[in-house]
Structure 1
Amino acid sequence: MASTTSPLSTLETFLCGGLAGCIAVTVSNPAEVAKTRLQLQGELVKGGQKRVYKDAFDVLAKTWRNEGIRGLQRGLGPATLLNGSRLGFYEPFRRAINRSIGRSITDQIPLTSAAAGAASGIIGASFGNPLFLIKARMQAYSPILPVGTQHYYKSSFDALATIFRTEKFLGLLRGMDAAILRTAMGSSVQLPTYKWTKNQLGSHGLLPSNSILTYLASSSVSGVCVCIVMQPADTALTRVYNQPTIRTPDGRLSGTLYRNPIDCLWKTFKTEGVLGWYKGSTAQFLRVAPHTIVTLTVNDIILGLYKDIRNRRS
Structure 2
Amino acid sequence: MSTTAGAFLSGGIAACGAVTATHPFETVKIRMQLQGELQTKGHQPHHYRGPFHGVGVIVRNEGLRGIYRGIGCAYVYQVLLNGCRLGFYEPMRHGLATLLLRDSTKQNLGINMFCGASSGIIGAAAGSPFFLIKTRLQSYSPFLPVGTQHNYRNAFDGISQVYKAEGLRGLYRGVDAAMIRTGFGSSVQLPTYFFAKRRLVRHLGMEEGAPLHLASSTISGFVVCCFMHPPDTIMSRMYNQNGNLYTGVFDCLGKTIRTEGFLAIYKGFLPHLARILPHTILTLSLAEQTNKFVRRIEQRILPASTLGKA
| 1:238 aligned onto 2:214 | no
The question of 1:30 aligning with 2:21 is answered no
Partner of 1:279: 267
Question: 1:94 corresponds to which letter in structure 2?
Answer: R
- Corresponding residue of 1:262: 250
Supply the AA of the counterpart residue of 1:156.
A
Q: State which of 214, 227, 232 in structure 1 corresponds to 2:225.
A: 227
Residue 139 of structure 2 aligns with which residue?
140
Tell me the alpha carbon deviations over residues 114-161 of structure 1, each in whole angstroms, 9 at most, x when there is no partner.
Answer: 101100111011111111110111111111111110011111111111
Higher relative contact order (CA 8 A, sep 6+): 2
After the TM superposition, which residues 71-86 of structure 1 pair with which residues of structure 2 at under 5 Å, given as runs?
Answer: 71-83=66-78, 84-86=83-85
Q: Which of residues 197, 212, 216 in structure 2 aligns to 1:218?
A: 216
Residue identity opposite 2:228 in structure 1: M
- Alpha-carbon distance in structure 2 between the residues aligned to 1:152 and 1:244: 12
Is the 8 Å Cα contact of residues 108 and 196 (structure 1) preserved in structure 2? no
Q: Are the counterparts in 2 of residues 33 and 72 from structure 1 also a CA contact under 8 Å? A: yes
| Correspondence list, 1:4-83, <5 A | 7-49=1-43, 50-83=45-78
Alignment match, 1:288: 276
- Aligned counterpart, 1:304: 292
**What SS does structure 2 have at the residue aligned with 1:145?**
coil
Q: Deviation at 1:205?
A: 4.5
Take 1:88 and 1:79, find their aligned partners in 2: how far apart are those partners?
18
Q: Tell me, in whole angstroms, the C-alpha distance in 2 between the residues paired with 1:22 and 1:203.
A: 32
Counterpart in 1 of 2:166?
167
Separation of aligned partners in 1, 2:87 and 2:274: 24
Contact 2:71 2:134 in 1 (8 A): yes
The structure where helix makes up a greater share of residues is 2
Distance of 1:267 and 1:52 partners within structure 2: 22
User: 1:136, 1:241 within 8 Å by CA — same for their partners in 2?
Assistant: yes
Partner of 2:308: none
Match of 1:252 in 2: none
Partner Cα distance (2:99, 2:259) in 1: 46
Letter in 2 for 1:78: C
Query: CA–CA distance in 2 between the matches of 1:106 and 1:199?
Result: 14
| Contact residue 74 and residue 138 of structure 1 kept, 8 A | yes
Shift of 1:106: 2.5
How far did residue 300 of structure 1 move?
0.6
User: In structure 2, how many angstroms separate the alpha carbons of the residues matched to 1:124 and 1:163?
Assistant: 21
Q: List runs of 5+ in structure 2 lacking aligned partners.
A: 305-310
Alignment partners' CA distance in 1, 2:105 and 2:204: 19
Aligned-residue offset at 1:310: 4.7
TM-score normalised by the chain length of structure 2: 0.92
Q: CA deviation at 1:272?
A: 1.8
CA distance in 1, matches of 2:29, 2:90: 29
1:200 aligns with 2:188: no
1:56-79 deviation digits (Å, cap 9, x = unpaired):
222100111111111111111111
C-alpha distance in 2, partners of 1:213/1:310?
27
**Identity between Structure 1 and Structure 2 (%):** 45
Contact 2:6 2:294 survives alignment (8 Å): no
Once the two structures are superposed, what CA deviation does each residue of 1:7-63 show, in whole Å capped at 9, x if it has no partner? 421101000111001111111111100000000011111211232222222210011
Structure 1 pair 290–103 and aligned structure 2 pair: CA distance change class (3 A):
farther
State whether structure 2 residue 150 is matched by structure 1 residue 151. yes
TM-score normalised by length of structure 1:
0.91
Q: Residue type matched to 1:36 in 2?
A: I
Q: CA deviation at 1:308?
A: 4.4
C-alpha distance in structure 2 between counterparts of 1:93 and 1:79, whole Å = 26
Change (3 A) 1:299 1:272: same
- What's the RMSD between the two structures over aligned residues? 1.5
CA contact (8 A) 1:129 1:173 kept: yes
What is the alpha-carbon distance in structure 2 between the residues aligned to residue 293 and residue 47 of structure 1?
36
The 8 Å contact of residues 38 and 56 in structure 1, kept in 2 or not, is answered as: no
